[in-house]
Amino acid sequence: MTPCGHRVNTHRNNPPSIPTWQFISNFHVSTENMKQAEIIVIGAGAAGLMAAATLAKAGRKVLVLEARDRTGGRIHTIRNEQGLPFAELGAEFIHGNLPVTLALLKEAGISYNDTRFEMFHHHEGRIQQGDEPIEGWDELLEKMQQLPADLPLGAFLDQHFAGDQYAGMREEITAFVNGYDTASLSDVSTFAIRSEWEHEDDEAQHRVTAGYGAMIRYLEEVCIKGGGEIVLQQEVERIDWAEATAMVHTRDRQVYQAGKVVLALPLGVLQQPDTLRLHPAIPGYTAALHDIGFGAIIKILLQFASPFWMEDAAFGNPAFPGNTTRLVVSGETVPTYWTQTTPGSTLLTGWLGGPPAWNLRTQSPEAILQATLQSLSNIFRQDAGALQAQLTGWRVVNWTNDPFTRGSYAYDKVPSSAARKVLQQPVAGKLYFAGEYLYEGPAMGTVEAALTSGMQVAEKILLKDTPVA
């Protein structure tokens, strides 16, 4: 799983309290130049564009409002920027044979390549192939299967695996949940982690040949060809939804009107008290948004003069097929790294997730780069200064500190399933929620989840608007 214009950062230093969305009663709006649409979609990420494209193909007049100066949200493919070649700043892989994603790529005529992951771990000063064995793993799975009621994974481990003999296992599980789910053990659902481990499909992994950005461009084209419109740099700050039509107010005092509004913003944005206000307030929906977890992530892209990591005897084993993505996990500050599949590629990706990413979210890109280089130095036994001298390009992608994302992707807390049932219900047949956090299935936290949610919301609107014979 991987997530994904920057403006002034308004991220608070402490986790926000649950906001109460309220109306500013002394704010008056002239309707003379109000722009109208049948349906407004707020957010031009994968979920929002999928909803807009589906609605536009069905003949609906759709207007998409996006706060950034680009579309794609947590999908951001770049080419030849900041010394980096083709690279994915956000979502990167297709984890499994995912039906909605692969069907959309086929429809668009966009190719994708199979890749295989070869796992390594850094242990006792050297890189070793394979996952690190976890003592007590079978006992852990057995206890999980016997668990009668869900509870946070941290509480589950405290109940059943608190002894010193399980310290290594707890450390490995913490690292996995932080890195893969970008979650915290203190609130991630044990049942969700159990289900995730039961449905792993490591053999089916793919990359979009031209990058996920090609898929975003296709959805834009479908929307526009269907008569839709996409307006960038429109940061929505308030929605008045209780009248016959909804009014959407932006930070620069633009006003848009529509019969229906699809909120396709990241969950991390919706959880903030300083972003979007709804009038009237919807306390039940506000609470439900906070009953779903939203992780933290920092992704680091490093372009070197040469692929020094191939000098390691284990990591650089030439016997691996050319489509192999090598991935190493360590106990370093920035613990995880993976390679590209292009032969001779000198691009290396670093990954820091969960509470450790949250703790570093306010650090400067330069400070995060230094921590990354030191981590690489320790893993590959290379001098950190020499590594920096080899850098030809780099970029720190701090999604957690990005004001239009505020994190990585969703994960399940204990009450998340019930929360999704609330959020999947439209408000007065007028206000709809869409996003990867509303997906229920084995591909949570992925582009597949976002596309599925966007498609389902559009289908819900179309079904509701279909006359009964």
Identify which of 14-18, 165-169, 234-238 has the greatest average pLDDT: 234-238
pLDDT tier, 130 (very low <50, low <70, confident <90, very high otherwise): confident
**How far from 11 is each of 269, 277, 395, 402, CA to CA, in Å?**
10, 17, 20, 8
Domain boundaries defined on the chain: 35-75+211-292+414-465
Name the one residue in this structure whose structure tokens are 């706060």.
67
Lowest mean pLDDT segment, chosen from 51-55, 127-131, 387-391: 127-131
pLDDT of residue 318 exceeding 90, the answer is no
pLDDT at position 33: 60
pLDDT average, residue stretch 181-199 = 95
SS3 462: helix
pLDDT at position 131: 77
pLDDT of residue 141 exceeding 70, the answer is yes
Q: 32, 253 in Cβ contact below 8 A?
A: no
Percent of the chain with pLDDT over 90: 82
Q: What is the DSSP letter of 272?
A: -
pLDDT of residue 15 exceeding 50, the answer is no
pLDDT of residue 264 exceeding 60, the answer is yes
Name the one residue in this structure whose structure tokens are 């219900």.
425
Q: What is the DSSP letter of 19?
A: P
pLDDT average, residue stretch 276-287 = 95
pLDDT tier, 449 (very low <50, low <70, confident <90, very high otherwise): very high
pLDDT at position 442: 87
Over residues 95-105, the pLDDT tens digits come to 999 999 999 99
pLDDT of residue 468 exceeding 80, the answer is no
CATH of region 35-75+211-292+414-465: 3.50.50.60
pLDDT tier, 20 (very low <50, low <70, confident <90, very high otherwise): very low
**CA 214-220-224 angle, 5° bins:** 145
What is the pTM assigned to this prediction?
Answer: 0.91
pLDDT of residue 255 exceeding 60, the answer is yes
Give start and end residues of each alpha helix (H) in 320-426. Answer: 355-359, 365-380, 384-390, 416-423
Average pLDDT, the chain: 90
pLDDT tier, 466 (very low <50, low <70, confident <90, very high otherwise): low
Largest Cα span, the chain: 74
pLDDT of residue 362 exceeding 80, the answer is yes
